[in-house]
């Protein structure tokens, strides 16, 4: 993988995870997310949208996958818009599945992220273990990779909501985990939605 495509991959994943978290208006980490938005290579309009979301708090919760696909097929928008729309839809599914994530799992993962002696690789392993546990108990009929992607970001959201000061660490580890395990799926998902 060349440096250019590596940076592009990280940009896509940053945008996906950020957009997923941005679509969680009832969470306690909005201030931290707004600060993070200025540290990431994100489109400027996303920061403006985030600011509007913070003051408005509205999000369309009646969003069906068929209308999602239809809208994107008609829209000749950029890859960024496609990624943001995918993140929005996954956030909505995550909202519905949130109750299936046991609070003790979130608390344990947050405790692990607070350990400053852990390497990034160890954090990824803890996240992977938590995702695997939720995958076993989560009743959701969707393809395996999509379920894993959504649950990975849902866990990041829940840990950041439980302890907002961990947002940067959780965000970075989540992006790294997705890049390592689900990047091909994310790219294919974006490509398939656009065509």
Residue with tokens 């994310």: 186
Give pLDDT tens digits along the chain (195 positions).
344 566 677 889 999 999 999 998 788 999 999 999 888 877 766 666 555 544 444 433 333 333 333 333 334 347 888 999 999 999 999 998 888 899 999 999 999 999 999 999 999 999 999 999 999 988 778 889 999 999 999 999 999 999 999 999 999 999 999 999 999 999 888 887 655
CATH number of 3-194: 1.10.437
Nearby residues of 123 by Cβ (< 8 Å), 6 or more positions away: 112, 113, 169, 173
Neighbours of 127 (CB within 10 A): 23
| Distance of alpha carbon 42 from alpha carbon 80, whole angstroms | 9
Could you give the angle at the alpha carbon of 93 between the alpha carbons of 124 and 166, nearest 5°?
35
Q: pTM for this structure?
A: 0.81
| Distance of alpha carbon 21 from alpha carbon 29, whole angstroms | 9
Residue closest to 160 by CA, chosen among 152, 151, 170, 150: 170
Per-domain residue ranges of the chain: 3-194
Q: What is the pLDDT of residues 98-143, one digit of tens each?
A: 888 999 999 999 999 999 999 999 999 999 999 999 999 887 788 8
Residue closest to 160 by CA, chosen among 171, 150, 152: 171
């Amino acid at each position: 993988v060349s440096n250019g495509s590596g940076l592009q991959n990280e940009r896509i994943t940053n945008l996906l995870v950020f957009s997923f978290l941005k679509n969680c208006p009832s969470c306690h980490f909005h201030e931290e997310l707004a600060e993070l938005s200025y540290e990431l290579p994100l489109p400027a309009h996303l920061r403006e949208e985030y600011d509007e979301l913070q003051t408005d708090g509205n999000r369309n919760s009646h969003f069906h996958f068929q209308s999602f696909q239809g809208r994107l097929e008609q829209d000749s928008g950029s890859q960024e818009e496609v990624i943001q729309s995918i993140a929005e839809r996954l956030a909505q599914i995550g909202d519905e599945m949130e109750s299936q994530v046991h609070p003790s799992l979130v608390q344990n993962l947050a405790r692990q992220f607070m350990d400053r002696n852990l390497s990034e690789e160890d954090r990824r392993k803890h996240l992977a273990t938590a995702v695997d546990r939720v995958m076993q108990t989560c009743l959701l009929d969707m393809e395996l990779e999509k379920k894993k992607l959504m649950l990975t970001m849902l866990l990041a959201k829940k840990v950041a909501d439980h302890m907002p000061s961990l947002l940067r660490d959780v965000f970075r580890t989540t992006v790294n985990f997705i890049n390592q395990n689900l990047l091909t799926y994310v790219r294919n998902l974006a490509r398939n939605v656009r065509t």
